[in-house]
Amino acid sequence: MMKLLYELDSMLDAIYGYMVLKAYVFSLRFNGNYANGDYAERWKKYIEKFDKKELNKACESLKNCKDGKVLDLVDAMDRSSYYALIHPEHPNITLGFIKDADLWNLWLESGIYRYARSAIADVVGIGIGDKIVDFGCGSASPRFYASLVGSSGAYVGVDYSKPLLNIAEKKCKNENIIDRVKLIHAKAESRIHFNKRYDIAVISAVAEYSSLNGILRNALEALGYEGNIAIFSELFVDLQPEREELFNLYYSLIPGFTSFPSLGEIREFFEKTGVDYSIETYGNHLVVIQL
């Protein structure tokens, strides 16, 4: 368990370090005169506060990166930043879950999300016979989790990107595991009726695009108020507040982005529901709630 969590945190440290390096190069080219004034102004404020000492930390974090594929998404965000200065919906911004599903499939399969899936499965102990509901499943998680639960288990994935669900369905059919898989085309926070009770709810890298309270409400109902909820996020803002501004600059280029979650709002939600729960953090990016 500790090895997988270390790898997950180490890779996300490298991603942030790479963002810092990319931001520094971006600042060298930045002149402030752009059509998209709102985005330019946000970059201007970040650049004015930029501390070059961060470059040394960035290089150190990258030394521990053993998998350069986790950096591919940052490259795409960096390229898109230049186009975003021209127009917020420039056609060369290739980060949409629907329009650019083929690219997201690559990032979901081989990027940081691969490490997140392994860490979640290890920490929660996903195995044969488990019933999993996965909010924001994308194209890669259905095959991964459905393979773990076996023929006696069940998996339901929820995602609003029909192209990503189509890719996921094809992968599951190719692996002959589609019989244990159900894919729902819906937003993760929309009201969803579940026909069976699940053991584990996975909320992975979706809270920043949705209403966290809405997703957690769905998770509680799917679990019947008993089980485990695993939440992965590239950033919990109250754990690493120094990363929020730069993460927001890049992730705001992804359609649907709102804001990164915090542990505080997760606790607040469960306190208001009045359910018995315990919450435990595993490193800086994975939280498990036991009901």
Structure tokens at 21: 């390096």
Residues 52 and 145 in one domain: no
* CATH number for 257: 3.40.50.150
Q: Give the number of other Cβ atoms within 10 Å of residue 151's Cβ.
A: 12
Q: Which domain holds residue 285?
A: 125-290
**DSSP letter, residue 138:** T
State yes or no: pLDDT of 195 exceeds 90.
Answer: no
Q: What integer best gives the mean pLDDT of the chain?
A: 97
Residues 166 and 87 in one domain: no
State yes or no: pLDDT of 264 exceeds 90.
Answer: yes
pLDDT per position as a tens digit, 133-147: 999 999 999 999 999
Is the distance from CB of 129 to CB of 150 less than 8 angstroms? yes
Cα separations (Å) of 285 from 31, 107, 216?
Answer: 35, 18, 17
Residues 164 and 207 in one domain: yes
The total number of structural domains that make up the chain: 2
Question: Residue 262: its pLDDT value, please?
Answer: 98
Residue 217 lies in a domain: yes
Residues 194 and 252 in one domain: yes
Question: Residue 224: its pLDDT value, please?
Answer: 96
- Whole-model pTM: value is 0.96
Return the axis-axis angle of helices 53-63 and 2-29, rounded to nearest 10°: 140
